[in-house]
Amino acid sequence: MAAYPVVRFAPSPTGLIHIGNARTALINWLYALRGGGRFVLRFDDTDLERSRREYADAIEADLAWLGIVPDITCRQSERMALYDAAAETLKKAGRLYPAYETAEELDRRRKRQQALGRPPIYDRAALKLGDAERAELGAQGRKPHWRFKLDASVVRWDDLVRGPSHIDCASLSDPVLKREDGSFLYTLPSVVDDIDLGVTHVIRGDDHVTNTAVQIQIFEALGARAPAFGHHNLLTGAGGEGLSKRTGALSIRSLRESGVEALAVAALAVLVGSAEAVRPVASLAELAATFDLADISRAAARFDEAELRALSARVLHHLPFSAVRERLEALGVAGPQAEPLWNAARGNLARLDEAETWWGVVHGAIAPVVEDHALLVQAAACLPDEPWDETTWGAWTAKLKALSGRKGRDLYHPLRLALTGRQSGPELAALLPLIGRVRALDRLSAPSA
């Protein structure tokens, strides 16, 4: 086993990933980041009818937006020879056997067992068939599905999240690993890939707990050591509803397009439902340094979009200019005044693109609001000469206060309305030098309505 962790995120490219999927991806990424390990992105695309390349491309774009850059990317559809070879190994070992029952026959059998008060597990009738009986079924046109023969043992593992765990495999049906049409279900390809790619830690949602014992037995049947397993709680919507790729609810694409910050999505997706308080973070490395799988609750966690938007604003308020320079340039906020504008405005932003609005207030044409014409006349008359800095506002308004006798809101609010055309916003001490004397004088001299 590798000296460093190797983890994987294995989405099916059958839709857009949502915040619940991103939670799993982020937890794995942070685990690898903290341990100096590797992150594998594996597309489980063996369902050829529903898998789409455009969904795979969208998943990669969503992960990149979140800050996740895989070390390895692979597709199960390109690895079928490995799965066929593993299936042959299991057949030769007597662990993979053909079964010929139809879905209808299996359903009737389950209902009969339930009516008799017995657990509805597969009775292994297929193991009692002789060669002649199999040949006869084949002559009837029946094709077998293939089941893995479980050992009737208790499989135990120390779950990275849930602690000591176990499942009694005597209570399980032998799982189908290969369908009648020759295609594989999820289980065998997943195990084969984990072996081939050297995955050391499988961290996934707790809806997969019941798969773990089966997979551990398959690892052992293939002569491999099973990885460590960890099963985190699932996310639901704010009302407790489940999330689905098919509905697009809380998809990462929709969140990205709504203007929320990736770091806010990451922080809330990872920290909600854990012992650690949800808080703004400056980087995924910062989040990785403190996040611990053992802090995750066993109960499902609710993802509140309103909480996300509030957290996103808090993230913005702490981001340095260097972290947003390129995004601001894409909005046209560029040049020597871009950084001072960002520093002035970021504390008032709910979305980064709102910086463009304040760039327009500083540099563009606005409609000044004249609330107190007499005050503005006095303000224009005592407007100081440039150069200006952040002390200019205080010196100017002190002089104007003495001349006009106004103070507090009666002094400052009419100036804000005239200089910005808005009722509220960033500190004028920071904005005034960016507006400049020419534009300030023009706005203060606007005619009254």
Q: Regarding predicted confidence, which is higher, 392 or 273? A: 392
Per-residue confidence (pLDDT) for residue 236, from 0 to 100: 85
Per-residue confidence (pLDDT) for residue 1, from 0 to 100: 56
Q: Do 115 and 201 fall into the same domain? A: no
Q: Do 69 and 92 fall into the same domain? A: no
Per-residue confidence (pLDDT) for residue 8, from 0 to 100: 98
Q: Do 103 and 123 fall into the same domain? A: yes
Q: Do 336 and 378 fall into the same domain? A: no
Per-residue confidence (pLDDT) for residue 46, from 0 to 100: 87
CATH number at residue 96: 3.90.800.10
Q: Does residue 247 register a pLDDT over 70? A: no
Per-residue confidence (pLDDT) for residue 273, from 0 to 100: 86
Q: Regarding predicted confidence, which is higher, 344 or 300? A: 344
Of the residues 337, 363, 389, the one at which a domain ends: 363
Q: What is the largest CA-CA distance in the chain?
A: 110
Q: Do 46 and 65 fall into the same domain? A: yes
Range of the domain at 338: 321-363
CATH number at residue 379: 1.10.10.350
Cα–Cα distances (Å) from 439 to 106, 356, 445, in that order, read 81, 18, 10
- SS3 category, 54: helix
DSSP secondary structure of 358-423: HHHHHHS------S-HHHHHHHHHTPPPSP--TTHHHHHHHHHHHHH---THHHHHHHHHHHHSSS
Per-residue confidence (pLDDT) for residue 7, from 0 to 100: 98
Q: Do 90 and 169 fall into the same domain? A: yes
Whether 277 is covered by a domain: the verdict is no
Alpha-carbon torsion angle 218, 223, 228, 229, nearest 10: 0
Per-residue confidence (pLDDT) for residue 296, from 0 to 100: 92
d(CA 443, CA 424): 17
Is there a contact between 217 and 151 (Cβ–Cβ < 8 Å)? yes
Number of structural domains (the chain) is: 4
Per-residue confidence (pLDDT) for residue 299, from 0 to 100: 87
- Which of 18-22, 229-233, 300-304 bottoms out in mean pLDDT, i.e. has the lowest? 300-304
d(CA 446, CA 59): 52
User: For residue range 333-344, what is the model confidence (pLDDT) as tens digits?
Assistant: 999 999 999 999
Per-residue confidence (pLDDT) for residue 449, from 0 to 100: 64
Q: What is the mean pLDDT of the chain?
A: 93
- Segment 46-68 mean pLDDT: 93
Whether 310 is covered by a domain: the verdict is no
Is there a contact between 236 and 243 (Cβ–Cβ < 8 Å)? yes
Is there a contact between 303 and 272 (Cβ–Cβ < 8 Å)? yes
As a whole-number percent, the residues of the chain with pLDDT over 90 amount to: 83
For 64, phi then psi, to 5°, come to -60, -40
Q: Do 70 and 194 fall into the same domain? A: yes
Whether 226 is covered by a domain: the verdict is yes
Q: Does residue 218 register a pLDDT over 70? A: yes
- Segment 55-71 mean pLDDT: 97
Whether 119 is covered by a domain: the verdict is yes
Q: Do 24 and 88 fall into the same domain? A: no
Q: Do 93 and 157 fall into the same domain? A: yes
User: For residue range 374-385, what is the model confidence (pLDDT) as tens digits?
Assistant: 999 999 999 999
- Segment 203-218 mean pLDDT: 96
- Segment 205-216 mean pLDDT: 95
d(CA 319, CA 342): 9
Q: Does residue 110 register a pLDDT over 90? A: no
What residues contact 156, with CB distance under 8 A and at least 6 apart? 164, 165, 166
Q: Does residue 427 register a pLDDT over 80? A: yes
Per-residue confidence (pLDDT) for residue 356, from 0 to 100: 97
Q: Do 154 and 169 fall into the same domain? A: yes
Please report which confidence band the pLDDT of residue 239 belongs to, taking 50, 70 and 90 as the band edges. Answer: confident
Q: Do 112 and 173 fall into the same domain? A: yes
Whether 257 is covered by a domain: the verdict is no
Please report which confidence band the pLDDT of residue 245 belongs to, taking 50, 70 and 90 as the band edges. Answer: low
Whether 267 is covered by a domain: the verdict is no
- Segment 190-199 mean pLDDT: 98
